[in-house]
Structure 1
């Protein structure tokens, strides 16, 4: 019955007295479930935090504990969670900076607002992983100092730090004015040359798949370059050479930068890797002429990337609308379309374009209703969930296109209880309808009982507050543990049943 207790622990109707009783017997799983409750009192949160470290950390992250509730010597993880939120005690940083557990010092290094002396101490830590973590977040002066660290991994962290001065980032990229790194995570462990097997059989091996060093620390240096390419503070002038770099990942990172130059854009548009061209196609920095070139790219990944470009011209987007995966979400350019463009899109001769527009949920009523009367089922499937559609319009969609739109109609927030019942009885049945109906706020007890016959619908129905209490009680013994747990979390569960369940 442990899964039932975990469900009960999240039940919003559970009384405070029963919450106290669960806290008294909670194991790790039950503690986590209880910690997620929004109605926990301060005393209950403190009682839970005393049970184990992971729960205390979760409560601290959720803002349920204060500095007065936590002893950093007993619950260092919770103290670090509070410090990460800027809610810790001022003296904690110096205490944790000398913590014997390297993981605690590493986590401290990522906390904001550390005193300067603590930053200096962490920057001189004997563990490279701690130094690398502080290098990732350090203020400009410390980042500049760590750029010359002999470990390539620390330099990689400096390169990704947005507070690193631009001239220091330029030095890391060009290597000018800075001595070469002396070791990396590979050569400090292995005899070089060495390439780490992606399927390494050694237990507890910490090297990343493909990590390599031949004396030049190449995989770690490439990681440094990748950090610099993703860092907006890195001067664009030192990055153009990466357009010819043998690493596809580095060329992709360059292609995604908002300050990539037109000349580099043109070169990357003919890159042999579709991934690089796709990253470029999605970049709002490219000009319209290049967008039109990329719209003709033979690779569908590239065309899909262009469809997600927030500045793609609407006529170009129209030619891309039928591409795979394009219509599965609301595209940025469609979301940003002006009122005049929305009217234009709604009357496009291309059904795929109208389908893209139909995914917006802020359409004017006139445009929404126009799309709801569209003759193409794909358009109706996209618009069916739009709020504000009348029951008559929703029924007309089902009458015209049946199984192609019933699930979308069932997900409409304005679907009536009567319509939901009809959709659940639709012939032929559509499995997704049961899931949508069972999760709908207007679902009645009668339709929920019908949904219990479907596997996924059963799980959604078990958590619906309109399910009759006697049915809920029966579901507590369901063979599917997830269904039983959902029933235990249902606020319609009878209070006497809850009391009987709690030890």
Structure 2
């Protein structure tokens, strides 16, 4: 059975998520979770603990997290949460799509929070571009890029900064002119982003040339449907790409069969999962376990 303190904290978390919590109590709860309430009383005036002592209790932190992700709060409340001394509250807040644009720009001045804004669906595209240049973002489709219009995608692809061009490259449904432009990009990381997105306009020749130029691209190349046999063989020589190449259906059946005995069990497992593995070999593998 939970003790009364734990139950009380659970109640706070519930109140934080209650859309009908009166405004004056919401303000008090925000102050409480940010450590600004200088009283040893709970939300309703009942003595509890010193708030600084309770500030690091996980359930109290969960209360701040719940409020930071709510999309129905006032601009003033969001600004108050943005000033919270605890980093994790500001990190959750940074992804909230209901934040005013001015607050998004203000949060960008917080170096610890700035990269988190990249995952906010409402982040201004110009701010996202600035974040991409100053923070190392993964080659994945970010929410704001996923909703970008054709003209916005062209704006990203025409950026003088390769990090911004790479943002557009991960969209699979890019206009033909944008893909053609990015395929010829002088920065290899942009082309790698196209490959990582399995863009169908990446030709077998392009993939092979890229594999020769950059071994770091091989894990993505080995997963691209257009990778040809000699490219996959080259990828097999790159340790991080081996298990992806072993699973690729364009690999010759005899080579897939050989990979069943690979010393790396992840590679052997990938070979067994390859749809091009001959049925008679599948049968033989099953017979071994009988």
TM-score range, shorter chain: 0.7 to 0.9
Shift in Å at residue 308 of structure 1? Answer: 0.8
- Residues of 2 paired with 1:234 and 1:430: CA distance? 57
Could you list the runs of 5+ residues in structure 1 that have no partner in the other structure?
A: 1-184, 188-216, 477-487, 489-496
- Residues of 1 paired with 2:234 and 2:5: CA distance? 63
- Residues of 2 paired with 1:356 and 1:296: CA distance? 21
- Residues of 1 paired with 2:249 and 2:73: CA distance? 49
1:271 to 84, 102, 115: 84
Deviates more, 1:268-277 or 1:447-456: 447-456
- Residues of 1 paired with 2:2 and 2:232: CA distance? 60
Alignment of 1:336 onto 2:160: no
- Residues of 2 paired with 1:227 and 1:377: CA distance? 49
Describe the shift of the 1:392–1:354 C-alpha distance in structure 2 as closer, same or farther (beyond 3 A): same
1:285 counterpart residue number: 98
Higher relative contact order (CA closer than 8 Å, sequence separation 6+): 1
1:214 counterpart residue number: none
- Is the 2:118–2:128 contact (alpha carbons within 8 Å) kept by the matching residues of 1? yes
Question: Normalized against structure 2, the TM-score is what?
Answer: 0.79
Deviations 1:152-187 (A, max 9, x none): xxxxxxxxxxxxxxxxxxxxxxxxxxxxxxxxx334
2:194 counterpart residue number: 383
Deviations 1:44-70 (A, max 9, x none): xxxxxxxxxxxxxxxxxxxxxxxxxxx
Deviations 1:262-287 (A, max 9, x none): 11111221211111111111111111
Q: What root-mean-square deviation, in Å, do the aligned CA atoms of Structure 1 and Structure 2 show?
A: 2.5
Shift in Å at residue 241 of structure 1? Answer: 2.1
1:321 counterpart residue number: 132
- Residues of 1 paired with 2:21 and 2:89: CA distance? 21
Alignment of 1:357 onto 2:163: no
Could you list the runs of 5+ residues in structure 2 that have no partner in the other structure?
A: 34-59
Point out the structure with max Rg over C-alpha: 1
- Residues of 1 paired with 2:259 and 2:21: CA distance? 59
- Residues of 1 paired with 2:65 and 2:143: CA distance? 21
Describe the shift of the 1:258–1:440 C-alpha distance in structure 2 as closer, same or farther (beyond 3 A): same
Describe the shift of the 1:320–1:411 C-alpha distance in structure 2 as closer, same or farther (beyond 3 A): same
2:226 counterpart residue number: 414
- Residues of 2 paired with 1:454 and 1:343: CA distance? 46
1:466 to 271, 276, 284: 276
Shift in Å at residue 294 of structure 1? Answer: 0.7
Question: Normalized against structure 1, the TM-score is what?
Answer: 0.48
- Residues of 1 paired with 2:104 and 2:90: CA distance? 11
Deviations 1:202-250 (A, max 9, x none): xxxxxxxxxxxxxxx232122122123234x434624232221143332
1:296 counterpart residue number: 109
SS of structure 1 residue aligned to 2:214: helix
- Residues of 1 paired with 2:137 and 2:106: CA distance? 18
Deviations 1:307-336 (A, max 9, x none): 111111111111211566632532100111
Describe the shift of the 1:391–1:319 C-alpha distance in structure 2 as closer, same or farther (beyond 3 A): same
4+ aligned runs moved over 4 Å, structure 1: 322-325, 468-474
Report how many residues are paired: 259
